[in-house]
Structures are given as C-alpha cells and as structure tokens.
Amino acid sequence: RITAQLIDATADKHLWSEKFDRELTDIFAIQDEIARAVVSAIEPQLYQAESLRARATPTTELRAWDYAMRALPHVWRFNGRDMAIAEKLLDVALTYDPDYAFAHSLRALVLAMRVHMGWEVDTAPALAKANESAARAAALDPEDAWSHLAAGYCRLLARETADAIAEMEAAIRLNPSAAMAHMALAIASNHAGRSDAGRRAIEEAMRISPRDPLMTYFSAIRSTSEFIDKNYAEGLAWARKATRESPDNPSALRSAAICHAMLGNLEEARAALARVKAIQPGLSMHYVEKVQPFTDPELRERYIAAFRIAGLT
C-alpha cells in the first residue's frame, strides 16, 4: 500500500490524498503506474489551489481578523451567553471586511449552534442569517474546512442529514485534525440513526483532542449514540461523565433525563429535567419536536416519547 498526499505547505492545507493497493510483482512497473496516476490526479488540484490562492486570501484588514480572534474563545466556552457575544464580535469583524470567509463560516456555525442548543428563541431569523453566511463562506473559499463545517450544520438543522454528513466529511478531508468537525459528524450521524458512525466520529474527536474544551459535549454525544441503540444504562453513564466535566451542559442533562425515563427512574428523570430547564428555560416539547433534527422515524418517536415520560410539556 502506497499513500500519496498533497499539502499546500504555505497555508498548511490538505489538498489531495489517495491510497494505492497493488500486488508487489514488478516494482518498477508499479512505480511508473503510480507516478502517472498521481500526476494526472493532482494536476487539476494544483490549478484549483492556485486559482483559490489568487482570490481567497486571508483578510488584510487587521481589525476584522482581531474581532474574529476575539470571538473564538467565546465559541469554545460553548454556552448561550458566550455564543451571543461571539455572534456580535463576528458581526463587527464583517463590518470591517464583508468578504472575510472565516468570519462568515464562524458566524454561520455560531448561529446554527445557538438554534440547535436551544439558546436562540427567535429561530427562523437566526437560521436565515446562518444560511446566508454559510453560502457566502462557501462562495468565498470553497476549499476551507470551516466553510464546509458551517454548511453542514445548516443542512443538519434543515433535516437534510445526508447532505450534512457529506459536508462534514468534506471538512474532515480538508482538515483531518479538526475535532469540532468530527464532533459535528457524530451529531449528524446520530440524528440519522447511525449510532455506529456516531460512535466512531466522536471517539476520533476524543482521540485527536483529549483535552478539548468541548470534551463534555463529546461525552454527551456518545450518550446519544447509546440511547439510539437502547443502551440506556450506558447512555446514562456517558451523560453523568459529561455533567462531571461540566455541570451546566444542557445536552448532557437532557440525555440523563431521557435515559432515566427509559430506565423507569422517573424521579431522577424529573430532577434532571428541572436542572436543564434552569439552564435552558425555553426547553419544551415544541423544541424537542421542531428543533432537534432527528430524521430516523422510529428514533424520533422514541426520543419524543422519552421526554414525555420524563414529564416535559
């Protein structure tokens, strides 16, 4: 097996890779065959990369870059208040450079996550802005991992799960070390009912970023994978791990509530529900039914029923 990989060293960006499996008979013939295959494969990638280099350079407006960098720590804190601050900082960045692709990608991602996590009350305008920024980022820099991640999250909330997964896989191909992209792929896989794919993706996120500030959410996502497979005790164990990592993680508390409910622990389910409602006051059956983008019919019905058992109205 020979693996060939093409990297833009100046931008530290992955452009192309391929594996070649051959029988080791005539080594020189294999060398010639693979050399021809590599040259023919990378030529269009080189031209495309040079074209993008000419038109998709990073912002030269330092104030735009500064405000985007200020937004990032708030994104990693991953709570409603900080995400709102990140959105405002990114809006300022885009007033200085309306064509800053990274700021558009991050803004789209922040808006989509605010809706998904229940931190945004007025969901329709937020989703419209998220889609607008995601489309702008894709037009400005279609070979950037962040733009694919943003587009994928928007597709997820539109319940276009196959497209969401494809976008997140594209983000990972462009930046295999992006733990957030693996996290988003796990979320999309879980919502499609593909628990095994969800486990693999979140385990990869944990492997490549073992001290990630979003580790509590990695654990909560793993809990969802177990809920999908009706492993409610295991799901509860992962939810508890997530709340040990961050007691105010609404995803973990929601997962604990529904796992307790399916295990028949109704008192514990109601207690977990009360804790999450203190953090997410807008939690309701409307949020569960309309915002959480489960597309597998059986899973969707079971997920909704679990919240009803836990006492959500």
The per-residue pLDDT for range 259-311, each reduced to its tens digit, is 999 999 999 999 999 999 998 888 999 999 988 889 999 999 999 999 999 99
Helical residues (DSSP H) of 117-231, grouped into ranges: 123-140, 145-157, 161-174, 179-191, 195-208, 215-228
Q: What is the pLDDT of residue 55?
A: 46
Q: Provide the pairing of β-strand 2-8 with 13-20.
A: antiparallel
Q: What is the pLDDT of residue 46?
A: 62
Q: What is the pLDDT of residue 23?
A: 82
pTM to 2 decimal places:
0.80
pLDDT per residue as tens digits for the range 119-167: 988 889 999 999 999 999 999 998 889 999 999 999 999 999 999 999 9
Mean pLDDT of the residues in the chain: 90
Nearest to 250 by CA among 266, 229, 272: 272
Indicate if the pLDDT at residue 1 is higher than 90.
no
| DSSP per position, 14-80 | EEEEEEE---SS-HHHHHHHHHHHHHHHHHHHHHHHHHHHHH-PPP--HHHHHHHHHHHHHHHH-SH
Q: How far apart are CA 269 and CA 259, in angstroms?
A: 8
In this structure, what token pair is assigned to residue 291? 């915002």
Is residue 132 within 8 A of residue 154, CB to CB? The reply is no
pLDDT per residue as tens digits for the range 16-63: 777 888 887 878 888 887 787 776 666 555 655 555 554 454 677 889
Is residue 227 within 8 A of residue 207, CB to CB? The reply is no
What's the chain's length in residues?
313
Is residue 229 within 8 A of residue 213, CB to CB? The reply is no
In this structure, what token pair is assigned to residue 56? 């998709």
- Could you give phi then psi for residue 269, rounded to 5 degrees? -65, -45
Q: How far apart are CA 218 and CA 214, in angstroms?
A: 6
Is residue 273 within 8 A of residue 259, CB to CB? The reply is no
Q: What is the pLDDT of residue 47?
A: 54
